[in-house]
Amino acid sequence: MIRTPNPEPRLRNKVRIISGRWRGRWLEFVDSPGLRPTPNRVRETLFNWLQAYVPGARVLDLFAGSGALGFEAASRGASSCTMIERDASTVAMLKAQANRLASVATEIIQADTQTWLKRSSHEPPYNVVFIDPPFDLGLWQSTLSSLIEFEWLSPEAHVYMEMPIGVADDLDIGALEIRRRLRAGEVEVLLLHKASL
């Protein structure tokens, strides 16, 4: 009889919420292909950039993964945070985190981001959007284009994007403008802004 090896266990890892009502609380996440939580230093910089815009904002966290960005925004006073994640076990973990934090501001949806964004009717536009897909999927341009085409962005919206160095140079950001840009190791982040017409 040929024995097949047991699948490797999916390890639980942790990331800490930096500030706000849940400051210092740990978020657990399960090992999953392509899941890389935004490093603490980059998250801290990002939320320093956004400190005037997150309180009271409607936040959309695409490719939610560990939930580090979405829960950080909710911790800092976002009025709502919608998290989109395709992987079922990751969604279950995100829901468990929300329950543990007693977060009424977070909505966690299991869906493919590309399909979800292309709905013809949807919720009111979002003020802050996070785009941090698995790097091997190459979904930055298609995700940003859908956000713009299907009118998910409110006037004066901010869009955060995290990607390998070099990807940003080829992005078509339409009428958005680059407000901030940072390189950290092999990763580059952009903060885009939708100016009112």
Please give, one letter per residue, the 3-state secondary structure of 15-82. Answer: EECCCCCCCCCEEEEECCCCCCCCCHHHHHHHHHHCCCCCCCCEEEEECCCCCHHHHHHHHCCCCEEE
Tell me what pLDDT residue 196 has. 66
For residue range 161-186, list pLDDT tens digits in order: 999 999 999 999 999 999 999 998 88
Q: What is the CATH number of the domain that holds 80?
A: 3.40.50.150
pLDDT digits (tens, 9 = 90+) for 38-58: 777 888 999 999 999 999 999
The answer to whether residue 52 is domain-embedded is yes
Report which of 108, 164, 109, 174 is spatially closest to residue 139, judged by C-alpha positions. 164
Query: For position 11, what pLDDT does the model report?
Result: 42
Confidence of residue 31 (pLDDT cuts 50, 70, 90): low
At 121 the pLDDT is 67
Residue 5 covered by a domain? no
Identify whether the C-beta of residue 143 lies closer than 8 Å to the C-beta of residue 112: no
Can you give the pLDDT at residue 46?
Answer: 94
pLDDT at position 9 over 60: no
Domain count, the chain: 1
Query: Which residues form the domain of 116?
Result: 12-193
In sequence order, the β-bridge partners of residue 89 are none
Mean pLDDT, the chain, as a whole number? 88
CB 172 within 8 A of CB 141: yes
* pLDDT for the residue 83: 97
Is it the case that residue 4 has pLDDT exceeding 60? no
Nearest partner of 191 among 68, 4, 46, judged by Cα: 46
Q: Can you tell me which residue has the tokens 């939610």?
A: 64
- Name the pLDDT band for 1 (thresholds 50, 70, 90): very low
Q: What is the DSSP letter of 174?
A: T
Residue 13: what pLDDT?
82
How far apart (Å, rounded) are the C-alpha atoms in residues 58 and 73?
A: 10
- Is 2 within a domain? no
Q: Is residue 93 a part of any domain in this protein?
A: yes
- Whether residue 161 is contained in a domain is answered as yes
pLDDT value at position 75?
97
93: tokens are 């973990």
> Is residue 185, in this structure, part of any structural domain at all?
yes
Give me the pLDDT at residue 136, please. Answer: 82
Residues 6+ apart with CB under 8 A from 159: 128, 129, 131, 144, 147, 153, 176, 190, 191, 192, 193, 194
Question: Quick check: 107 pLDDT over 70?
Answer: yes
Instruction: Kindly state whether residue 3 falls inside one of the protein's structural domains.
Output: no
Is residue 165 within 8 Å of residue 190, measured between CB atoms?
no
- Assigned domain for 66 exists: yes
